[in-house]
A and B are shown apart, each in its own frame.
Chain A
Amino acid sequence: MIFHQQQCPNGLTIIGEVIPEARSAAVGFFVRTGSRDETIEESGVSHFLEHMMFKGSKKRDAAQVNKDFDKIGANYNAFTSEENTVYYASTLPEYHLAATEILADILRPSLRSADFEMEKKVIIEEIGMYEDNPGWMVFDHARKLFFADHPLGNSVLGSNQSIMDLKRDQMVDYFQRRYIPSNITLVASGNFEWNKFLKNAEKLTTNWKHGIARRDHIRQTSGSGEFKLLEKKTTTQQNVVMICPGPPAASPLRYAANLFAMILGDQSGSRLYWSLVDNGLAESADCSFHEYDGAGAFYTSFSCDPQKTAKNLDIVIKQIHELIAKGITEQELEQAKSKVLSRIVRAGEKTMNRLQEVGMSWVYLRRYKSVDEEMQTFEKVNLRQIQQLIERYPLLRLTTTTMGPLAKLKMPLIPKQPKVSTSQHS
């Protein structure tokens, strides 16, 4: 693996990881923008705009965009999160330059009115789809409850109303504000020639206008700490999401945080697995670490028979309490590392995964890490760092959201953050 980087005069950063033995090559534009960068009036515009990109440019209409991608057999798509919008394509190596050309072209969209109105309908359908899926909805509510007035609580999809009200001019304004070269990273990974790729990419983006895109309100939050029960009579299972604060993306504790989440709630062999799933109390239980620009959070979730919700909440709280009070064992840490290392190796074999890894690492940290370096960093995590994580973040400050048939539910008392034990330091 060889890494390259280049900064263009207009501010665009181009990076690439060349993997000669890969069977494919991937390319993506990582735009540092998402729902957290929206005003209230333009709620949902980041995601709506992501759809509109595929509706074409001066050179191509929507049908032509789809045809041109399909003509080169590209596996392509885009996604929008709270703070990133990513457009990507992976192809056989011979089509890598062509894929880059299409992506660069559509990133300067025409945003035609007729397309805007048509795509509005599709977004409304997408919102409807998620509304019928309580397992998804509960996360959206949970994030909002945790982040409260912090912009990371903004909904990515927006609401039916905000989408209906949105005008094309607002989208144009948002585009001009956010899709500025200095706010975009062009990333390539896989089997490709860097020099050719770079020359091609520079030519394609040379006319993109220089500027500055700011992101406001970057701050940590420990969350509202509230409890919310959302009654939904038509559902059968109770879904629960508990969020507590964690380190931000740029923190060196991010590695410890990932391992901690795995120890608490990985789908195999974790504390939540043994205390909730193995015995059939919950259908599934999970803990995952989400890192953001300036903030971080652990999302612990489970779904279960509604009658068991109170008992299960109690168990989760006890498990977290115990982790804080007694710490983790050396064996648990090693276990979690084995799992992470194996997953990194396997993910690293697919260029599409590498594209995400390399791209996100650059967007957040301005840093490149090869698969081996990433593994080494995980290998070096020790009990002391896990302890630091536990000391620094109030993991029992839980913001809890639950959705399901229950009309009443009392949130169990959350014990005080225990004094952190240091007995297991070796």
Chain B
Amino acid sequence: MEKKTFNHTFENGLTLLAEHMPHVRSATANIIVPAGYIYDPTNMPGISSVLSEMILRGAGKNSSKELSLAMDGIGLDRSCSAGTNHIRLWGATISRNLEKTIDFFADIILRPQLPKADVESVKMLAAQEIMAIEDDPKQKVLIALKKNHFPSPLGNDRRGTLDGLKNITHDAITKFWKKHFRPNGTIISVAGNIDWPSLKTQVERLFGKWKETPDPILKLAPGKGGISHIAKETQQVQIGIAYPSVTYDHKDFYSAIGAVNVLSGGMSSRLFTEVREKRGLCYSVWATHQNFKELAAIICYAGTTTEMAQETLDVILKQITNLTKGIKEDEVKRLKIGLKSSILIQEESSSARAGSIAVDWYYLGRIRPLEEVQKSIDSITTKSILNHVKQFNPKEFTIVTLGSRQLKHGK
């Protein structure tokens, strides 16, 4: 069979990954640079986000306008944003424009102009983005939940704070870029109808001379956990719940995924059935697995009118703790088919594949073949899920609510 995935790590530590998808006409390039918000200096939260916008404003010989025009000219849809560990530059277009895309990306990463004149506008944009959270109660509760549950700086919000923005100067942005944009820890992943040898040659030519620098040391301070409430006059109460789970590289990872899918896999899963279908308590209720390298959690969310909120919280918590009482055979059957379908259908999207192979590499140091993922899904059983939820039965929840009434949670 034709080889499907490729990887190469260059001498300076830069890793190039690719997946060959002969059945598609699109191509996606994805670069993650280890300059995420966890590296924001404590007095400048939000600087990685500001930098992620600044690097698009002119690079190499192209001014901001020229660069934008040139990328539009090849139909390149792109975005650049700061995540936990990385700044991620993403672009998708048709296959024949992939080479040009990588040329532009090399300029953006290695030779951004970081124009001083743009700093104020970019900061204004960043401030408005922070303000906009106030108008989006769901977003606000999830940000607060993350902050309370996870150790700092993992639980920080990428947007930073209004106070932090004030301290961000052109100098600070340049310094942050110089310090954190480095080949070791950077992953370039490409998916589409690609030619590996020429891709590798191009990346080596463009990024080969990029100088390695030592990894920064990161100290984690535990999150405060507990229960808190944000008072706000709204129609609905927003509820966020978090509790620990296992990470991507853990041997029980797929049991944990099984468990969260019993709770919130499809519309026949327990949360949707018990909270919405049987009781009509809310429109939106879900649970998902959130992963960091160091730790992971299950995050649950529901939004419900004030009168229904207490019952909603009680029912959700009961469903979580009830997992240890037993998992049904048909529940597992359904969630396995759901997981398998989404893995196979992902093959239709170069964008999804470029993202997936980078995630694999970052957490596992390798790309898992499709057969391995399928096997892992096959290995999920009622017993494996039950063992897992018994072992990781949450003793404490981090809970954040937002709305016009505070809720009770007796332990």
Contacts and interface: CB of A to CB of B under 8 A. Distances in A.
Interface of A: 21-24, 54, 62-63, 66-67, 69-75, 90-92, 118-126, 128-129, 131-135, 234-237, 268-269, 274, 277-283, 303-305, 334-335, 338-343, 345-346, 348-351
B293 to A, nearest CB: 29
B143 interface: no
8 contacts: A62-B277, A63-B268, A67-B334, A90-B345, A118-B280, A283-B128, A335-B73, A342-B93
Interface string B69-91: 10111111110000000000000
Given A345-B25, A345-B26, A349-B350, 16 more contacts: A23-B345, A92-B340, A122-B276, A122-B283, A124-B305, A125-B281, A132-B234, A280-B120, A281-B124, A303-B128, A303-B132, A338-B72, A342-B94, A345-B94, A346-B77, A349-B349
A339 B77 contact: yes
A343 B305 contact: no
A303 B136 CA distance: 13
Nearest to B340: A73
B75 A280 contact: no
Contacts of A349: 24-26, 348-350
Interface in B281-325: 281-284, 303-305, 308
Interface in B89-144: 92-94, 97, 120-125, 128-129, 131-132, 134-137
Contacts of A236: 131-132, 134-135
Contacts of B77: 268, 339, 342-343, 346
B349 A350 contact: yes
Given A237-B132, A268-B78, A128 B266 contact: no
Question: Which 3 A-B pairs give the minimum distances between C-beta atoms?
Answer: A342-B75, A280-B124, A121-B280
Contact of B123 (A120, A277, A280, A350): A280
Contacts of A280: 120-125, 128
Q: How large is the interface on B (under 10, 10 to 19, 20 to 34, 35 or more residues)?
A: 35 or more
Contacts of A128: 235-236, 283, 303-305
Contacts of A126: 283
A22 B344 CA distance: 10
A237 B131 contact: yes
Nearest to B345: A24
Contacts of A234: 232-234
Contacts of A341: 75, 94
A119 B277 CA distance: 8
Contacts of B345: 23-24, 75, 90, 92
Given A63-B277, A69-B268, A269-B69, A92 B344 contact: yes
Interface of B: 23-26, 64-65, 68-69, 71-78, 92-94, 97, 120-125, 128-129, 131-132, 134-137, 232-236, 265-269, 272-273, 276-284, 303-305, 308, 330, 333-335, 337-342, 344-345, 347-351
B74 A71 contact: no
Contacts of A268: 68, 71-72, 77-78
A72 B280 CA distance: 25
Given A23-B344, A24-B345, A339-B72, A69 B94 contact: no
A122 B128 contact: no
A135 B348 contact: no
Interface centre among A118, A128, A134, A304 (most CB of B within 10 A): A128
Contacts of A135: 135-136
Given A234-B232, A305-B131, A350-B349, A125 B283 contact: yes
B128 A304 contact: yes
Overall SS of chain B's interface: helix
Contacts of B68: 268-269
A121 B304 CA distance: 10
Contacts of B69: 269, 335
Nearest to B272: A66
A147 B330 CA distance: 50
Interface centre among B65, B232, B268 (most CB of A within 10 A): B268
B282 A125 contact: yes
Contact of B128 (A70, A305, A335, A346): A305
Contacts of B267: 54, 66, 69-70
B236 A132 contact: yes
Contacts of A23: 344-345, 347-348
A237 B135 contact: yes
B236 A338 contact: no
A269 B72 contact: yes
Given A66-B273, A269-B69, A343 B75 contact: yes
B75 A73 contact: no
A131 B348 contact: no
Contacts of A129: 235-236, 283-284, 303
A235 B128 contact: no
A70 B132 CA distance: 36
Contact of B348 (A24, A63, A121, A123): A24
A63 B268 CA distance: 7
Contacts of A92: 340-341, 344-345
Interface centre among B73, B280, B303 (most CB of A within 10 A): B280
Contacts of B94: 341-342, 345-346
Given A66-B277, A283-B129, A339-B77, A125 B304 contact: yes
